[in-house]
Homo-oligomer: A and B are copies of this chain.
């Protein structure tokens, strides 16, 4: 099943992402690699603010990482027109806003990784680092950036 068909099956509606006019843009395509900007859990509209280990549990962080993945996939859809132009997920950098002593970054970022595999199957499996940051913009709990390999434009 294609990623777009799988999305429909799951009842997920991605959003249009605005490019805006700032120096920072949501994605850059170079050759057949699509680089995304680091994104936070801004898809569902739920407000997130705080660190893992004090304000949020790993389970809540998992939810934030899944929401972040949906934001990133919205970027990919806007960039490419269809998720089905993704050939594979290459690399995920999962950055977790971590209070001293928090070391369950992988369990948090799994919320992103598992969604990628659910949608893209074998091609969704990826190289990854999941690591703890001292702070993130606006005190979001999770920020993730992804590199995708895409089909050449026909």
Contacts of A91 in B (CB 8 A): 28, 35
Chain A contact residue count (CB 8 A cutoff): 58
Q: In the complex the two chains form, what is the Cα distance from A104 to B136 in whole Å? A: 8
Report A17-73 residues with CB < 8 Å from chain B CB: 22-28, 30-33, 35-38, 53
In the complex, the answer to whether A129 meets B101 with C-beta atoms within 8 Å is no
Interface membership of chain A positions 89-102, coded 1 if the CB is closer than 8 angstroms to chain B and 0 otherwise: 11101011111111
A14 within 8 A of B: no
The residues of A with any CB-CB pair to B shorter than 8 Å are 22-28, 30-33, 35-38, 53, 88-91, 93, 95-106, 110, 113-114, 116-117, 124-139, 143, 145, 147, 149
